[in-house]
Amino acid sequence: NAGVTQTPKFRILKIGQSMTLQCAQDMNHNYMYWYRQDPGMGLKLIYYSVGAGITDKGEVPNGYNVSRSTTEDFPLRLELAAPSQTSVYFCASSYQVLNQPQHFGDGTRLSIL
Amino acid sequence: AQKITQTQPGMFVQEKEAVTLDCTYDTSDQSYGLFWYKQPSSGEMIFLIYQGSYDEQNATEGRYSLNFQKARKSANLVISASQLGDSAMYFCAMRESNTGNQFYFGTGTSLTVIP
């Protein structure tokens, strides 16, 4: 009963480094999402995907890239990490049906120093 | 304009009392869904309750109920018989069909249950 799995759970990066946050879901959801949550704030959508091979920008896409080669996986890549990208990152997935909620991973806590 | 507005940054409630967390939404779509999520201090996002725009009755899930007032575009979460474990952030979200079933989240309300 894995649901949405995010790795790693914690990471510290130096300014200018790059990394990929992994997200996998085993519920055969076609919609997947990446959010960031800054301390004490709500969720901001970074990128989303409505199916394999299809991705689109959300509210705050600058500094990030995504790909969706399979239904299950939706990695988020940070290029040239900056302190402003220090945040908690959540991956979520859902069916495309209107009444279906998003299922969230446990989050990745990322610090850029 | 904000799609989802939560005007209460923080709320306090006495244990065993009921509490209402406010949520108003903005949409011109006829077909949409409203969701509430709980985020405890451990950080995970937990789905609580759903209300569809065409549902005539208010949704209920255990101690959670949704006070849905369509004309006022409000979808308030009511928690009855509050417990200490209810202390958390609560987020209201909307999904509307005319934007490709995208989700929109409010800024959240922090609820503290006082023993």
| pLDDT given at position A2 | 77
B98 vs A: CB within 8 A: no
Burial class (CB in 10 A: 0-12, 13-18, 19+), B7: exposed
Q: What is the pLDDT of residue B71?
A: 95
Nearest CA in chain A to B95: A98
How far is Cα A7 from Cα A46, in angstroms, rounded to an integer? 17
Question: Which of A90, A94, A98 is facing B97, going by the closest CB pair?
Answer: A98
Per-residue pLDDT of chain B (115 residues; tens, 9 = 90+): 789 999 999 999 999 999 999 999 999 999 999 999 999 999 999 999 999 999 989 999 999 999 999 999 999 999 999 999 999 999 999 998 877 777 899 999 999 999 9
DSSP-assigned beta bridge partners for residue B113:
B13
User: A88 vs B105: CB contact, 8 Å cut-off?
Assistant: no
Whether B69 has its CB under 8 Å from any CB of chain A: the answer is no
Query: In the prediction, which pLDDT does A1 show?
Result: 66
Residue with tokens 């998003």: A102
Cα angle value A47/A48/A54 (rounded, 5°):
115
- Top residue of A99, A104, A109, A110 to mutate, by most chain B CBs within 10 Å, is A99
Closest in A41, A101, A104 to B44, CB measured: A104
